[in-house]
């Protein structure tokens, strides 16, 4: 499944949680996790309950890391950014409805590393298998 969207600013909340539980996220993801996310506004709604992605979802229960919410991670490749391995990231509450904005987490700060600004297009592919 290919997705594309434009970079947009978030609220900065991801950095708080990804900093606080960074070691736990890195263990679960099988790679270092930068304490922040990249928001992409897609051209269409993304459905976390799509049967095609169901088998690929990585569940991260709050009991595993000490957080307040259960998390879903979906492995992806950032096609327009050198095929970098990453995850789409959401809470299970957030996944209960379709959204046109998704959050991406990976091992480095994507904005700084690739010089991304709001409005830049990013393409990614989901459905290829787990990261790690």
DSSP string, 70-131: -EEEEEEEEGGGTTEEEEEEEETTGGGS-EEEEEEE-SS-HHHHHT--TT-EEEEEE-S---
Confidence at residue 129, expressed as pLDDT on a 0 to 100 scale: 54
pLDDT at 116: 97
- pLDDT computed for residue 128 by the predictor: 61
Q: Which pLDDT score is estimated for 12?
A: 75
- CATH number assigned to the domain with residue range 2-126, chosen from the 4 options 2.40.30.30, 1.10.1040.10, 3.40.710.10, 3.40.640.10: 2.40.30.30
Q: pLDDT truncated to tens, each residue of the chain (132 aa)?
A: 899 999 999 887 889 999 999 999 999 999 999 999 999 999 989 999 999 898 999 999 999 999 889 999 999 999 999 999 999 999 988 888 878 999 999 999 999 999 999 999 999 999 765 544
Task: Please give the DSSP secondary-structure letter assigned to residue 53.
Answer: T
Q: Classify residue 47 by its DSSP letter.
A: -
Q: What is the pTM of this model?
A: 0.92
* Residue 35 three-state SS: coil
Residue 11 is predicted with a pLDDT of 80
């Amino acid at each position: 499944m290919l997705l594309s969207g434009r970079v947009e600013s978030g609220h900065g909340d991801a950095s708080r949680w990804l900093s606080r539980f960074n070691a736990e996220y890195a263990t679960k993801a099988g790679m270092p996790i930068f304490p922040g996310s990249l928001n992409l506004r897609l051209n269409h709604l993304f459905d976390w309950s799509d049967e095609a992605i169901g088998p690929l979802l990585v569940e991260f229960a709050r009991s595993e890391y000490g957080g307040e919410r259960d998390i879903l991670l979906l492995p992806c490749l950032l096609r327009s950014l050198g095929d970098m391995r990453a995850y789409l990231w959401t809470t299970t509450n957030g996944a209960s409805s379709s959204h046109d904005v998704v959050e991406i987490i990976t091992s480095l700060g994507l904005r700084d590393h690739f010089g991304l600004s709001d409005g830049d297009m990013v393409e990614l592919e989901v459905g290829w298998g787990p990261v790690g």
